[in-house]
A and B are shown apart, each in its own frame.
Chain A
Amino acid sequence: MGFFFEVAIGGLLAGVLYSLVALGFVLIFKASGVFNFAQGAMVLFAALSLVRLAEIMPFALALMLACAIMVGLAFAVERLILRPLVNQEGIILFMATIGLSFFLDGFGQAIWGSDIYILDFGVPKDPIFILESLFEGGILVNEFDIFAAVVAGVLVLVLATFFQKTRIGRALRAVADDHQAAQSIGIPLNQIWIIVWAVAGFVALVAGMVWGSKLGVQFSIALVALKALPVLILGGFTSVPGAIIGGLIIGTGEKLSEVFIGPLVGGGIESWFAYVVALLFLLVRPQGLFGERIIERV
């Protein structure tokens, strides 16, 4: 039993990391209806910028500069991609973000290099035992994963306050609800897009920091971000809690299935398990766990 919980907790904590990436997707989709395939590339780009800048300057300064870079990216995306493509179909915008993700992958590695960089901000990575009184031998968890979970929790709290309590947050929600209505009461759509992409860039930076210090900053981070897609499907594209809970479910399910089902079918099922779960789930509930119901009328 202890082993089961150990795997499950490991999965939960891995799921937190998926949630972090998924959160960036949800933010952009909520506020602009753009399915941002480039979120994974943004995570890699942010992490690369941070780790390479930190090599030549104090960490705090590098962090600020990396934030600035992501804001600059948001400006560029709004100016060069979203504005010319305004009013196009969602699928065109989606393909444009695939283009953006290729560009960012190449661009990031072209200027920052494509080796594996170590990102370490002093969080211990030792495994520790918890709940030793409850289970025999205790449950093994990684201290770093707990730290990541705390970071994710704080980030969600900050974002929730930002969305619910601030003026800009209200404007963002208005835009998400109805572009045209928001525009007609004087909310500037272009600025909102910049803000949303900047916030998504900031989330990408946080996700990149956490992923990067766990795996090392390298190209595989952009691939790990592909795992955030099934998370989104499960949670619904428009729901922040959905991203979190979807991440936890996918993370746990993935680890449990790998450990308990994997050996029966040859292992390595982590690569598709999340997707197939999401696919099956879509057949039952196309809008995801917390997504808004899709109503179509002619």
Chain B
Amino acid sequence: MLYREAGQFKTSYAADQAVFPILQDRLALALVLVVAFFAVPLLSTDYLLTSILIPFLILSLAAIGLNILVGYCGQISLGTGGLMAVGAYAAYNFAIRVPGLDLLVCFVLAGLTAAAVGMFFGVPSLRIKGFYLAVATLAAQFFLDWSFSRIRWFTNYTPSGSLAAPPLEILGFRITTPSGRYLLTLAIVVVMAALAKNLTRGRIGRSWMAIRDMDIAAEIIGIRPLQAKLSAFAVSSFFVGVAGALWAFVHLGSWEPAAFDINRSFSLLFMVIIGGLGSILGCFLGAGFILVVPLVLNQLPTAFGIPLSTAMISNLENMIFGSLIIFFLITEPRGLARLWAIAKEKLRLWPFPH
């Protein structure tokens, strides 16, 4: 009975439709946010911030974007890496070509650019679906990969093809410390996650889910597939684009096209599947999971005194990810988020079984 809802009455529609209708959830979220905003920057080391928490937050954001497309709208995409690259290169070009533009504005513009590109590559989804669409999004991935490495204008004619992000300056503040970068990322991710959560609960989100569950039936009840699918592509790409810009500017600092290759697309897809299709919380869980597995793999064998070569570790990583995907699809197609929901159910009744 740790998770008791008895006695929490709702007396208004607003209370009934709240994102977190249960007190415990609201408290837990508030606690998580307080810890994330205040305790974490003070207590954690620079290593933890720069190599785990910042990538975790950014990848979660990208996973939210992909989840909107795959989990909510049912349009499978293998081109997420390419769209992250669009965000990164767009932010770079806005930042260096438009003097005096605030970086936050650059990030938003980068997101919008990615949304436009995403919609363009989403057009085929109106005629094709399922596997055909998956292959079509690979076209986006390969084409974007190629254009960022070959079209020199995007990289501002740098000879090496690798780019260095301009210094992080937001609203006149220069951000240099890891905790500053962490807070910036966290703020953006929290705002956008709340946005995503609300979008998916509303009319647009409902129409996405209707298209996902049965597109023809959705069309018959008056949902326009054109609007629903393209808006899913646009919103999804916006999130992915902002994540790409953050990945390049805040996490990497300097990057090459290879930072956004097809493996990035796959790992994001894995995050979404493992975390839970159609769940915002799942994106965070999935991203955390995918990030932690390689770290554990790197640490565990040495801790047990079995040093493995890096090639072996990456092979093991592939094997473990592959089996995990299959395992999750078989046992719990709705991923870690579903496990969390089950745990909550259990806690409601604890310590009694019924």
Bound form: Cα–Cα A278–B139 in Å: 8
Residues of A within 8 A of B127 (CB): 282-283, 286
Q: Is the CB of B151 within 8 A of A272?
A: no
| A141: Cβ under 8 A from any B Cβ | no
Query: Do A110 and B312 have beta carbons less than 8 Å apart?
Result: yes
**Across the interface, do A279 and B124 meet the contact criterion of CB distance under 8 Å?**
yes
Cβ contacts under 8 Å, A94 to chain B: 76, 130-131, 134
Residue A101, interface by CB 8 Å: yes
Q: Does B295 contact A (CB under 8 A)?
A: no
| Stretch from B171-179, B191-199, B321-329 forming part of the interface with A | B321-329
Interface 9-residue window, one of B1-9, B14-22, B36-44, B141-149: B141-149
Inter-chain contact A80/B143, CB cutoff 8 Å: no
How far does the Cβ of B351 sit from chain A's closest Cβ, in whole Å? 33
Q: Is the CB of B319 within 8 A of A107?
A: yes
B132 within 8 A of A: yes
**Which of A63-71, A156-164, A174-182, A227-235 lines the interface with chain B?**
A227-235
Contact A103 B322 (CB under 8 A): yes
Q: Mark A99-121, 1 if CB is under 8 A from B, else 0.
A: 11111111101100010000000
Q: Which of A99, A271, A282 contacts B323 (CB 8 A)?
A: A99
Cβ-based interface call for B266 (8 A): yes
CB distance from B190 to the nearest CB of A (A): 29
Q: How many A residues touch the partner, as a band?
A: 35 or more
CA distance A110 to B309 in the complex (A): 11
Main secondary structure of the interface of B (DSSP, over half): helix
Are B139 and A110 in touch, CB under 8 angstroms? no
Rounded to whole angstroms, the CA-CA distance of A229 and B262 in the bound complex is 15
CA distance A109 to B317 in the complex (A): 12
Q: Is the CB of B131 within 8 A of A35?
A: yes
Chain B: CB-nearest residue to A41: B322
B316 beta carbon closer than 8 Å to chain A = yes
For the complex formed, measure the closest distance between the CB of B22 and the CB atoms of chain A, giving whole angstroms: 31
A105 to B318, CA, bound (A): 7
- Nearest opposing residue in chain A for B215, CB measure: A296
CB-defined contacts of A106 to chain B, threshold 8 Å? 314-320, 322
Interface mask (A266-278 → B, CB under 8 Å = 1, otherwise 0): 1111011001101
A286–B319 touching, CB < 8 Å: no
Select from chain B the residue with minimum beta-carbon distance to A93: B329
Tell me how many residues of B have a C-beta within 8 Å of chain A: 45
Q: Are B326 and A100 in contact (CB under 8 A)?
A: yes
Inter-chain residue pair count (beta carbon < 8 A): 135
- Whether A103 and B132, one on each chain, are in contact in the complex, defined by CB atoms closer than 8 angstroms, is no
The complex places the Cα of A92 from the Cα of B335 at a distance, in Å, of 13
Is A197's beta carbon under 8 Å from chain B? Answer: no
Is B333 engaged at the interface, CB distance under 8 Å to the other chain?
yes
- Taking the nearest CB of chain A, how far is it from the CB of B74, in angstroms? 8
Partner of A91, one of B130, B143, B322: B130
Cβ contact within 8 Å between B216 and A298: yes
Q: Is A84 an interface residue (CB 8 A)?
A: yes
CB-CB < 8 A to A171: which residues of B? none
Cβ of A99 and Cβ of B329 under 8 Å apart? yes
**In whole angstroms, what is the CA distance A265 to B143 when docked?**
13
Flag if B139 contacts A279 (CB, 8 Å): yes
CB-based contact B130/A90 at 8 Å: yes
Indicate if A81 sits at the interface (CB-CB under 8 A).
Answer: yes
Confirm or deny: A98 has a beta carbon within 8 angstroms of a beta carbon on chain B.
yes
Query: From residue A121, how far is it (CB to closest CB) to chain B in Å?
Result: 28
One digit per residue, 1 when the CB lies within 8 angstroms of any chain B CB and 0 when it does not, for chain A 214-251 equals 00000000000010011011000100000000000000
Q: How far is the CB of B213 from chain A (nearest CB, A)?
A: 11
Q: Is B220 an interface residue (CB 8 A)?
A: yes
Which residues of B pack against A, CB within 8 Å? 74, 76, 123-124, 127-128, 130-132, 134-136, 138-139, 142-143, 145-146, 149-151, 216-217, 220, 266, 269, 273, 311-312, 314-326, 329-330, 333
By a beta-carbon cutoff of 8 Å, the part of chain A in contact with chain B is 35, 80-81, 84-85, 88, 90-92, 94-96, 98-107, 109-110, 114, 226, 229-230, 232-233, 237, 265-269, 271-272, 275-276, 278-279, 282-283, 286, 296, 298
Shortest 10 CB-CB contacts between residues of A and residues of B: A103-B322, A106-B318, A99-B325, A102-B322, A275-B139, A106-B319, A272-B142, A110-B315, A35-B131, A266-B150
